[in-house]
Amino acid sequence: MSALVSGGSVALLPAFSPDAALRAIERHRVTFCGAVPTMYVLMLGHESFAERDLSSVRLCVAGGSNVEPALAESIRRGFPGAPIYNLYGLSESSGACVLSRPDDDLETVSRTLGVVIGDFEARVTGPDGEVLPPGETGELQIRGDCVADGYRLVRSAPAFRPGVKRTLPRSGAGKAGSPSGDPASARLRPGGSAARCTGAGR
């Protein structure tokens, strides 16, 4: 949607296949490539990858799963000149709420999911809703103007908490880091099926 709002073009595929994706990138001179890590693995390993002109790609974004160090390096080599960003988001947050910083190196991209973006805030809480101190594991909560108020036709009170701006959906376990006073500095780390939050634990 952001591409459409800003006047960009979007190349859509009826279904993903590495060959179709590579053809679309080359044909439409795609500049932004967003995919889950498995899609990058399939594109990079496709027999036609080396033959494709992918020089138009200026940014590679991965979401849905962590980017392992070896894959991050492969993406860097396969799409030279295109920085790699990790993205974390929820349907309930209307998409991305955590993104890598522009100056993150490959090691940082492969170890973390990024920092809280826009007006979003993140905090890690315990079973009773208390904000946890650094080093403790608990529930990661996200707050922001784009967070949904609840689910249609579903009782959502257990999943959504009232907040100052909107609501705080439960989004898995997290680990509180050292408070910095700046919620935008909170850095999320993957941890199995959980997410680890280091930074402001507000």
- 36: phi then psi, degrees, rounded to nearest 5: -80, 155
- Answering whether pTM is above 0.85, one says no
Does residue 169 surpass a pLDDT of 60?
A: no
E strand map for the chain: 32-35, 59-63, 84-90, 95-99, 114-116, 121-125, 137-143, 160-162, 167-175, 187-191, 194-198
Does residue 182 surpass a pLDDT of 80?
A: no
| Choice between 178 and 170, residue whose per-residue pLDDT is larger | 170
The candidate with the shortest Cα–Cα distance to 142, out of 164, 183, 171, is 171
Rg (CA), the chain: 18
Are 2-116 and 121-198 in the same CATH fold?
Answer: no
Spell out the domain ranges in the chain: 2-116, 121-198
For residue 201, the SS3 value is coil
pLDDT value for 161: 61
Does residue 184 surpass a pLDDT of 50?
A: no
Q: pLDDT, tens digit, for every residue of 44-86?
A: 999 999 999 999 999 999 998 888 999 999 999 999 989 999 9
Domain 2-116 has CATH 3.40.50.980: yes
Measure the CA dihedral 118/123/128/132, to 10°.
Answer: -170
- 49: phi then psi, degrees, rounded to nearest 5: -55, -50
Beta carbons of 140 and 90 less than 8 angstroms apart: no
Confidence of residue 191 (pLDDT cuts 50, 70, 90): very low
Which fold is adopted by the domain 121-198?
Luciferase; domain 3 (2.30.38)
Confidence of residue 190 (pLDDT cuts 50, 70, 90): low
pLDDT value for 157: 53
Q: pLDDT, tens digit, for every residue of 107-132?
A: 988 888 788 888 888 887 888 888 88
pLDDT value for 202: 32
To 10 degrees, what angle do helices 69-78 and 37-44 make? 50
